[in-house]
Amino acid sequence: MGRTLDVDKHREKSQQILDAAWRCFVRDGFRGASTTDICREAKISPGHLYHYFPSKEAIVEALIEKSLQSIASHFDGIAQEEDVIQSLLSKVHEGFGKPYRPNMLLNIEMLAEASRNPSIAKILQRYTQRMRSLLADRLRDGQERGQVDRQLDPDLAATILIGLVDGVRGMAIKDPSLDTAKTVELLKSLMTRLVAPEASKNAPSDQPKKRVLNVR
Amino acid sequence: MGRTLDVDKHREKSQQILDAAWRCFVRDGFRGASTTDICREAKISPGHLYHYFPSKEAIVEALIEKSLQSIASHFDGIAQEEDVIQSLLSKVHEGFGKPYRPNMLLNIEMLAEASRNPSIAKILQRYTQRMRSLLADRLRDGQERGQVDRQLDPDLAATILIGLVDGVRGMAIKDPSLDTAKTVELLKSLMTRLVAPEASKNAPSDQPKKRVLNVR
Amino acid sequence: MGRTLDVDKHREKSQQILDAAWRCFVRDGFRGASTTDICREAKISPGHLYHYFPSKEAIVEALIEKSLQSIASHFDGIAQEEDVIQSLLSKVHEGFGKPYRPNMLLNIEMLAEASRNPSIAKILQRYTQRMRSLLADRLRDGQERGQVDRQLDPDLAATILIGLVDGVRGMAIKDPSLDTAKTVELLKSLMTRLVAPEASKNAPSDQPKKRVLNVR
Amino acid sequence: MGRTLDVDKHREKSQQILDAAWRCFVRDGFRGASTTDICREAKISPGHLYHYFPSKEAIVEALIEKSLQSIASHFDGIAQEEDVIQSLLSKVHEGFGKPYRPNMLLNIEMLAEASRNPSIAKILQRYTQRMRSLLADRLRDGQERGQVDRQLDPDLAATILIGLVDGVRGMAIKDPSLDTAKTVELLKSLMTRLVAPEASKNAPSDQPKKRVLNVR
DNA sequence: CATGAATGAGCTTTCATTCAT
DNA sequence: CATGAATGAAAGCTCATTCAT
């Protein structure tokens, strides 16, 4: 009982530290944020940090793990809706908009870090695989229902879809004047076209496509 | 004459240092690579580096500028071909494949750095604008010729296209088992569908699309 | 209690570092002494110095502040004696003599540093003002009692007195063979003449002036 | 002949470098100014500096030597006037006033440097001795003519006089609001009193002393 | 559980000086 | 006479981590 409480408290404190680290990493990046910064943000002493995490890298790993878990759980929701394409598009909005910018920045940090740090690469790859599987399964569902092009390789398409959303999200840095709303609309249209079956590609779903594209 | 030679030599040496820095930054990232590393790689003494660049950041900036310039010059080639869509697709291949992995890694580094360093953000934004303009102009050409959907906002579409390629390139880190050839094929197909006019979206160009998609 | 002890210990350690810095600065000057020197002298590691002071300049400032405070507190004593002139002269001895040479050297360093470093100039000016005020007040007292020339501007006279003592102290460097005892005697005589009222300037106090001046 | 021209040119260039160094040292101090700074100011290349001076210290030494020589030559003028006291006072003005501030700053630098660097100490001491001798000789002249107190030790008095002027000059740093004109007046009065013979100490010369002192 | 003192390697940068041309 | 490329030691400072309390 007491043991359980201790474990809970320990977990809670770890969480507080991770929250502080999240803020620091978003602000300064994995390399740019120092353990001192994190401790100050978490309001603990520098020595105490090592009571909860054996190293700075462990913090980064835990943070990435947690962050990806949260994103992946968003994907889980996909499986429950009826219309495959609609359920897919409904998730797109979430990655855009101001409050998601921190996550986007962390995503880029993760990519940068994973390209150099094998243990972080593994985490990233594990979650990517999981999310891609979920997406691919959904696409397969759609193919069975005739909502998705049967000639598409679901795994490959899922990969491309993830890359597409990631890449367009990153454009916010390359072009700060980007109009998010219009971007999301065109992005959705593009995703629809990617997965829609041949026959319906002229009129993908009931989406009022013409208005969407007519943005000039 | 002697003066010209001196300037040439200076430029050559600067270039050698940038080359060394490129290797270090690809290997360890902008923050991860130290000036000492760069000097060792360039085979110069630590002090001598500052004969050519006033700071480490100046090296990063010069490198990014040069790298983006080289990429942008690739884009310039787009303007010369007849078929808009074909000229666009022909450029896609180049971003994939093993020898381009370093550039992809640097691209991610740039994004990460630009999100925190305003002066680097500016460089990135300047070149992004330039490349997007070139692409958008090409799309406008295509629209006039009936090769590109007239309802498309060229600027927005160009932005999405860049993001799409960037994002899919980054998937190589998230999923190392990715089949590059197939990915490129699907990517091209997707790009074609994005820009193709309504009428031809069932049969985009002479590309044997069905085989392409039938990848299972 | 524990908190108080901690603060005390911190202050004590800071003091030890300042003592070490004092030795280094006296030996090599503010610029000539390195933080490494100070750490070696204080027997701490190079990084630990920054646990107590945010920068080398902060050490210099703290040291100057402390040093001037100590000198200023000497001046405070002036206010208590009866005979204004005697109390003034009694303080002169202290600035001369071998054990005071380090302070004299630091005084010169301060002047040199203050002429370039505004934040140190401010400290020096603040304390100068304070000491001059004390001196000027004493002179005003003397004027009321008829011990000091009523035509003298107390503030200006105080400034000159400080400059006089400083300058003569510095002569120890320009002329190492200087006879300190005789110098102090003549200095005192000069100071007496500066402040003494017109009437007594031929026979300043009960001091056997003739012997004092007859130093050949 | 050509040899002579060469020597002249060499001397001229050395002089230009010393002038540049003077500006740098006044601005940043002996330690604060780098050889690079001096070269930039003198518009020569870093390597070329060592064609004229074997080291930075040699520049400092040459500069100090030259500077003191110039000051000493001012003192030489003292010997020619009739009234000892007047000739002495006439020199005081020169050390004050804005255009002399650089020399005052260098004076402090010299003192600081001499306290650590024996070879510079020697130069300073040599010139101090020379100037003190000149002053002392003048005082001896005055004693013979009855213009100067016969009980005064000329050497000691000369030393004190130099220190007095130096010290008061330095007060400009400790108190930037100092009124130079009034300071000089009081300083002159003090110097007069120091050297004037007993009999005349109540009425030192024809100087309108009362107005001078009545500055409240 | 918690502190903060302490470490030492490593960072970017500066500097006086030397050398090849 | 003149350049500027080149050196390498040392500077002030930061950092992840450890340890005594």
- CATH number of the domain to which D44 belongs: 1.10.10.60
What is the pLDDT at residue B81? 66
Q: How far away is chain A from the Cα of B51, in angstroms, using its nearest Cα? A: 27
Count of other CB atoms within 10 angstroms of residue D161: 24
pLDDT bucket at D205, cuts 50 / 70 / 90: very low
Q: What is the mean pLDDT of residues D93-109?
A: 89
D22 & D95 share domain: no
Q: Regarding predicted confidence, which is higher, A65 or A82?
A: A65
C66 & C147 share domain: yes
D47 & D69 share domain: no
Total CB pairs under 8 A between chain C and D: 174
User: Taken in order B107, B123, A164, B155, is the CA torsion positive or negative?
Assistant: negative
What is the pLDDT at residue A20? 98
Query: How far is residue C167's CA from residue C155's CA, in Å, rounded to a whole number?
Result: 18
A116 CA, E7 C1': Å apart: 28
Q: What is the mean pLDDT of residues D201-208?
A: 43
Contact flag A194-B198 (C-beta cutoff 8 Å): no
Residue of C110, C156, C178 to mutate, interface with D, max D Cβ within 10 Å? C156
D158 & D82 share domain: yes
B64 & B48 share domain: no
| Residues of the domain holding B28 | 1-54
Of the residues D54, D70, D96, which one is the last residue of a structural domain?
Answer: D54
Q: Give the count of domains, chain C.
A: 2
* pLDDT tens digits for range D22-79: 999 999 999 999 999 999 999 999 999 999 999 999 999 999 999 999 988 877 776 6
Q: Which of residues 21-60 of A touch B (CB under 8 A)?
A: 28-29, 31-32
Which residue from B108, B190, B193 is facing A115, i.e. has the nearest CB? Answer: B108
Count of other CB atoms within 10 angstroms of residue C104: 19
Contact flag D214-C105 (C-beta cutoff 8 Å): no
User: Taken in order C124, C125, C127, C132, is the CA torsion positive or negative?
Assistant: positive
How distant, in Å, are the alpha carbons of A208, B1, D164 from that of B4? 63, 5, 59
How distant, in Å, are the alpha carbons of C174, D35, D61, D131 from that of D118? 12, 21, 11, 20
What is the pLDDT at residue B204? 40
A150 & A91 share domain: yes
B93 & B125 share domain: yes
What is the pLDDT at residue C195? 86
D135 & D171 share domain: yes
Residues in chain B: 216
What is the pLDDT at residue A51? 96
Of the residues A54, A77, A94, which one is the last residue of a structural domain?
Answer: A54
What is the pLDDT at residue B214? 35
DSSP state of B95: G
Question: Percentage of residues in chain D with pLDDT exceeding 90?
Answer: 62
Q: What is the mean pLDDT of residues A197-212?
A: 46
* pLDDT tens digits for range C42-74: 999 999 999 999 999 999 999 999 999 998 888
Q: Which of residues 72-101 of C touch D (CB under 8 A)?
A: none
pLDDT at D82 over 90: no
CATH number at residue C181: 1.10.357.10
Residue B205 placed within a domain? no
B26 CA, E16 C1': Å apart: 35
Residue A113 placed within a domain? yes
Residue A209 placed within a domain? no
Query: How far is residue B13's CA from residue B45's CA, in Å, rounded to a whole number?
Result: 13
pLDDT at D201 over 60: no
Q: What is the mean pLDDT of residues A39-58?
A: 97
Q: What is the DSSP string of B2-36?
A: HHHHHHHHHHHHHHHHHHHHHHHHHHHHHHHS-HH
User: Taken in order B185, B186, B187, B188, is the CA torsion positive or negative?
Assistant: positive
Residue C205 placed within a domain? no
C196 & C114 share domain: yes
Contact flag D168-C173 (C-beta cutoff 8 Å): no
Query: In this structure, are residues B121 and A172 in contact, taking their beta carbons and an 8 Å threshold?
Result: no
* pLDDT tens digits for range D156-169: 999 999 999 999 99
What is the pLDDT at residue D192? 87
Query: In this structure, are residues C21 and C109 in contact, taking their beta carbons and an 8 Å threshold?
Result: no
C50 & C83 share domain: no
pLDDT at D93 over 90: no
* pLDDT tens digits for range C103-152: 999 999 999 999 999 999 999 999 999 999 999 998 998 999 888 999 99
Strands (E), B50-184: none
pLDDT bucket at D207, cuts 50 / 70 / 90: very low
C41 & C127 share domain: no
Question: Integer distance in angstroms from the first to the last C-alpha of chain A?
Answer: 65
Q: Which amino acid is at B101?
A: R
What is the pLDDT at residue B169? 94
B130 & B173 share domain: yes
